[in-house]
Amino acid sequence: MAPVLYRFTRDLRLHDHAGLSAASALGEVLPVLVIDRAMEARLRTSPRRAAFFCGAAAALDASLRERGTQLVVRRGNAAPVLKQLAKACGAHTLGWSASFDALGVQADRKLQSDMEEAGLRTIIAMDAPAIGPEETTAARPSAGDGYRAFVPYHELWRELQPASHEAPLFLSFAQSDVVSEPLPQPSEFGSQLPAANAGETLAAQRFRAFLQNDGLHYAFALGAPAEDRTSRLGADLSFGTIAARTIVRETRERIDDPFLLTEERNSLKLFLRSMAFRDFFLQLAWYNPQTQTEPLQEKMRDFPFAKSHPALDAWRSGCTGYPLVDAGIRQLHATGWMHPRVRYIAASFLCFDLGVDWRAGLSEWDRHLIEDEAALAIGNWQWAAGVGADLAAYPRIFNPRKQARRFDPAGAYIRTWIPELAHLPAGAIGAARTASSQIELPLFSGNAYPQPVVDHERAAREFLKRYQQFMPASGRQASR
């Protein structure tokens, strides 16, 4: 029987894998990893992303070798490489997982056309979401064009059950004489970091530990950046070392535990809501590819966001003089991750205090985040900038000082990431921004922490004035 080629992309695992399940139903699978120019460019963008990818690819190869095969690695343009592989092993079918961002979807369609012209059957599986766009759209009474509002989407999402493809032991892999190129290494993407300790085994361990422990306190974790107790599964989900379906099914099962406290059950429901948001943004990009380059809200496409600002570099380097914003940026630079709550506060500062276009923030974070899912990044940034799916009457402008008092009252998070302020007691961290300049003297560290680059209250008022002039509306928006 002819083997079925399966091309791994951002789905680097064997368990609960929609694409592998579909491919294996047609024959023995020959697993392939093609590093084309688009993938290389994405990995060159962020050194930590490259290190994570290489570690996950190595772990996938190790899992395959345990099953008597290996990951066949190739470098080059995907279409000719896959045609050559299909000819070499006699394959008539090629499968892979669907992309959801506009550029990825376009590449998928081009590859599908090229393969079918060459006489190959193609299978494109929706593996990334827990519940795919077609499932949620099919449940609507109207024609299928996706959801633009989260609340009705979430109401439906909660009622749908994720499919299961949990049968790795039944996957059958082809024996082939095809020679593989070496596994990818971070250095080939310009990263000086070693390959990360990543892969589906570690992702599953992290998730199940979270489900038994920190997940029961997720509501607290969302408001406590210093505690660092969120799931930290963003990179695993974006590279597919764990399935969103697995997370949703097992979390729902955990919620049904009769011994859970009400607060613990509510925390897990809040975690599921974050998974629903992930699926929501994926389907939003799937049905609205124009969001790759422009706002979802047509009325906001001509809003005069600035392309730059004198303080833009200060925001990029975590030196705005607003400690919570700067702590988040510095955490991102140091780890490739930022606490979810702080992400929105930092994004709000860029878009509203500085008035800078959300795409500048999207590009900047893309250089540092390990995560690699453009559809999610675009959806989140447009939401934060008030130009996407968020239907609030006015922009959600966060007051960074109030947010720091609310979510980091002891200053633990700020002191962790801003050494210039590490010597200060909790009450002095906020006061240092407006009071005596003596507290700014470098008595305890080599550098003084900067004064605020803008006055938040004034900047917020000026932005809202521009917003009202651009799009007259009634009501008011308090600075949160």
Residue 428: what pLDDT?
A: 77
User: Same domain, yes or no, for 444 and 385?
Assistant: yes
Decide if 261 contacts 356 (C-beta within 8 A): no
> Which residues form the domain of 89?
1-127
Residue 213 lies in a domain: yes
Q: Decide if 180 is inside a domain.
A: no
Whether the per-residue pLDDT at 475 is higher than 90: the answer is: no
pLDDT tens track for 2-51? 999 999 999 999 999 999 999 999 999 999 999 999 999 999 999 999 99
Same domain, 141 and 108: no
Average pLDDT over residues 233-245: 98
Distances (CA, A) of 452 to 19, 41, 354, 430: 50, 36, 12, 11
Comparing 459 with 475, which gets the higher pLDDT? 459
Instruction: Give the C-alpha separation, 16 to 41, whole Å.
Output: 28
**What is the rounded average pLDDT of the residues 276-291?**
97
Q: Is residue 385 part of a domain?
A: yes
Same-domain status, 88 and 98? yes
Of 287, 307, 324, the last residue of a domain is 287
Residue among 292, 245, 320 at smallest CA distance from 99: 292
- 436 pLDDT band, cuts 50/70/90, is very low
Cα 191 to Cα 277: distance, rounded to the nearest angstrom: 31
Could you tell me the CA-to-CA distances from 275 to 4, 249, 268, 390 in Å, in that order? Answer: 32, 11, 11, 17
CATH number of the CATH domain containing 402 = 1.10.579.10
Q: Could you tell me what percent of the chain has a pLDDT over 90?
A: 86
Q: pLDDT tier at 290 (50, 70, 90 boundaries)?
A: very high
The mean pLDDT value of the chain amounts to 92
Does one domain contain both 111 and 152?
no
Q: How confident is the model at residue 429 (pLDDT cuts 50, 70, 90)?
A: confident
Position 181 in a domain: no
User: What is the per-residue DSSP string for 221-247?
Assistant: HHT-TTT--S---HHHHHTTSS-HHHH
3-state helix, strand, coil in the chain (%, to 5): 55, 5, 40
Say whether both 457 and 325 belong to one domain: yes
Domain match, 307 and 454 both: yes
Examine the domain organization and report whether 367 and 410 are in the same domain.
yes
Q: Is 329 helix (H, G, I), strand (E, B) or coil?
A: helix
Q: Is residue 444 part of a domain?
A: yes
Residue 109 shares a structural domain with residue 225: no
Kindly indicate the confidence band of residue 168, based on its pLDDT and cuts at 50, 70 and 90: low
Residue 474: pLDDT band with limits 50, 70, 90: very low
Q: What is the mean pLDDT of residues 413-442?
A: 71
Question: Does residue 475 lie within any of the structural domains?
Answer: no
pLDDT for 293 beyond 70: yes
| Contacts of the segment 408-411: beta carbons below 8 A, 24+ positions apart | 408/225, 408/226, 408/324, 408/327, 410/226, 411/323
Tokens of 474: 């009634």
Is the domain of 456 the same as that of 311?
A: yes
Amino acid present at 461: R
CB atoms within 10 A of CB 417: 25
Q: Looking at 215-352, which runs of residues are DSSP E strands?
A: none
What is the mean predicted confidence (pLDDT) over 195-217? 98
In a domain, 168, yes or no: no
Look up the CATH number of the domain holding residue 209: 1.25.40.80
Output the CA torsion sign for 347, 351, 357, 358: positive
Give residue 145's pLDDT.
81
Nearest one of 75, 76, 35 to 53, comparing CA atoms = 35
Q: What's the CATH number where 61 sits?
A: 3.40.50.620
- 382-406: average pLDDT: 92
- Residues 134, 123 share a domain: no
Q: What is the pTM of this model?
A: 0.94
Q: Is residue 477 part of a domain?
A: no
| pLDDT at 142 (0 to 100) | 57
Q: 338, 327, 348: which is closest to 368 by C-alpha?
A: 338
For residues 112 and 10, what is the distance between their CA atoms, to the nearest angstrom?
17
Residues 341 and 451 in one domain: yes
- Which of 233, 169, 176 has its CA nearest to residue 4? 176
Residue 434 has pLDDT above 80, yes or no: no
Q: Over the stretch 332-372, which tens digit does the pLDDT of each residue have?
A: 999 999 999 999 999 999 999 999 999 999 999 999 999 99
Domain termination site, one of 287, 306, 331:
287
Q: Are 362 and 40 in contact (CB under 8 A)?
A: no
pLDDT at 169: 56
End-to-end CA distance of the chain: 63
Residue at a domain's end among 127, 153, 186: 127
Percentage of the chain surpassing pLDDT 70? 93
Residues 80 and 149 in one domain: no
Q: How confident is the model at residue 427 (pLDDT cuts 50, 70, 90)?
A: confident
How many distinct structural domains can be found in the chain? 3
54-103 tens-digit pLDDT: 999 999 999 999 999 999 999 999 999 999 999 999 999 999 999 999 99
pLDDT mean over 243-261: 97
